[in-house]
Structure 1
Amino acid sequence: MSEPMTVPLYMRRHAFDPDPELTAARDDEPVRKESTAFGLDVWMVTRFSDVRQVLGDPARFSNVQRAMPRLPGMPALSEEELARLRAGNLLSVDPPEHTRLRRMLTPEFTMRRMRRMRPRVEDIVTEHLDAMEAAGPPADLVTSFALPIPSLVICELLGVPYADRAGFQRRSGAILDISLPVRERAAAQLESRAYMAELVARTQAEPGDDLLGMLVREHGDDLSTDELIGIAGLLLLAGHETTSNMLSLGTLALLRHPDQLEQLRKEPERVDAAVEELLRWLSIVHSGTFKITTADVELAGRHIPAGELVVCALPVANRDPGFIADPDRLDIGRGEMGHLAFGHGVHHCLGAPLARMEMQIAFPALFERFPGLREAGPPAEFRSFNVVYGLRSLHVTW
């Protein structure tokens, strides 16, 4: 019988907070060797300034992981098959390839584009609040509010049929759950790619007004079919998983910090700052992608040879006293920008403006509609083994 998997240190949390051992590592040994869930050795980077340095230097800390050892249970793939799987995935390429892909996508995520989308996002939020109110309490906020809103938004943006959401949510859940066997996660990834390949083929035959249609019409000669599949798959996965978990976990954080929730209710104009503070304080993406050193580097006094894996512990970096005073306190009054919740440098999250807008709309609308919102029923269930931290359920009443 196999041993139960242990959550690697860079992913460990106690409810909202990084594990105390992770905080101690940042303060005592900010760059040190650790093990992943799959037994690979990585250099874990924990201080804010060091993490910024790693994320801001793709030349020495590369996202291109061609030399990654094959994990036990991972199907054997040829170099050609691996290249097809990596095509279009902005997280697995570096400049200049990354620059080329991102330049085509950036116009769809500008502030001007977000302002045009805002009325539709407001309608989607209102529709889900209406449905919650009509169904009456209690409700699971994850399934009734936090998950469906970003899913519907990203589906409409990309041109993915919302009726397919159960399938893509199941596959996303499997891909991101490191407690599952590698073979099962790989199968979900291949399933997801097959689904996106069908969607891209339909779009190429008849491009619509959505983002995929725009890419086909305007960049069809510059993007291969594999790149279109990779772009669509990444945006669909990242577009609903991250924001949905911020909505559920952020709601729970405010419910458990009633002074902060009261401040937001009294001063709704603080919502932008509140969103930034929740992003920093929760840091739901534990680490982002692993990096590989392309040369020998010195970091925080440690020598890291070329060809080594490096992982950035974002939650503990965002709570570094070297970055912000009293970092473990949730304080929506400060709303500091410059946090690392969306990453940093060339790989800074492309969808950050969309995620911010969804949260800026959803949080105030939720608490305005249900001023008596509170936890009820079984306690909120945190999910520990997921690449994106969050909640499996959040039972509420009002």
Structure 2
Amino acid sequence: MTRAGLLVVGALLAIASGCPAEPHPVPEPTSSPQPSHTALPGRPTTASTGLPAYTGPPANAPPSTGPLTTLRAAVDLTPATQGAFWRADEAVAAPDGGAYVVLSSEGPGRPQRLATVARTGDGFAVTGSVAVPRVDHVVGAHLLPDGTVAVAGRLSSSDLGLEVVDPRTGATRAVPLVPYERGTTSADLRTALSPDGRTLYLVATVTIGRRVSETLSAVDPLAGTVLAQRGLIDDVSLVSVYPMGRQLAGLVARPGGGATVVFDASPTEVAQLRIPTLLRYDASLTTLEEPVRVTSLAERAETQSVAVGIDGTVFLVVDVPDGAWILAVPDGGGAGPVLVQLTDRIFDYALTVEPAQQWALLPAIEGARAVDLRTGEIRGPLDVGCSLGPDVRAIAPAWQDAGALVVGQCDVGSRWVEMLWIAGP
């Protein structure tokens, strides 16, 4: 057994003693193996255990607020919609403790709105909304330093990029970052905002016929300018026979600048055999640090969701044959033991971690569940009050990370109601 396997077994024993919600199926790659570095004798298939492993929350972490098992607010988003067949896609925390929520219509014309949820007396409610030029396949919403909100996805021009919206006035401006090319058959992206909010990182994977383009960009979202950009095909080929494609899982910003790309590498010709892998870059995107393989090939793990801690630790939820694991890789470090073992592979598609890095929140059949990242204990559930069951789509940190925003819809029998739930300790 490999050292990584021993670490996993030890962690499981310790735990044992102590895209319905939208699942994220992972289609198989349709592209051919990439040509770069074909002279290599073979890509690595074992976990990166030669780097420092995650040992727990940082010494300077703020105090934990405890598990998020209290429902502080349940906000009906209907006042921000016009007609039926709307969908709440993403939410980002607002400075007053509320949130901004991206809502998309599935009806003719497919309008989109950005709703403001704010305190009203003793609770929270929708206090306004503004129109947003259509952004398809929304993958993120980010609050910028000037109070505007950057909505990331595919723009009305078909370019990948950002629609920056002022939630007060409704003023908008498009920031195209990856131009559309005729013949494009698939395109995906992930985004992450730097801790100071002044640099937005975007990783994109685009297939144009038989050609694949994969890039990482650093953008000034306020000025709408590209600060740096790097092609990733050669970097990906160091650890994977195939391009990232639909195996792109996430992107996180590093505390000292730069970003970490998370994807499932296929180190052999068998595309379905994958390893969750990290590619780390500095602030200028010029330096690729040693790629990190989070598991070994034998563990048959596939990444479902990604979050980041205040010290840059990357937290991953990965599916394995008998359930799912939560794993952690410190910034600059490597693979380590399993933190939490989950028995299901259904509610693993979203994750948020508190600043103290002691508790995390994931979806559950009742709404959400808290997990202790130190002991593996599962606490909860957070019951959001949907008698027929909620459809949770996304979970994001609340303002100053004092809780979490849970986005989804509630079945009230005759229709689905789009909802924002605010969770607290």
Task: Write 1 or 2 for the structure with the bigger share of strand.
Answer: 2
Q: Same fold (TM over 0.5)?
A: no
Higher RCO structure (Cα 8 Å, ≥6 apart): 1
| Structure with more helix by fraction | 1
TM-score normalised by structure 2 residue count: 0.28
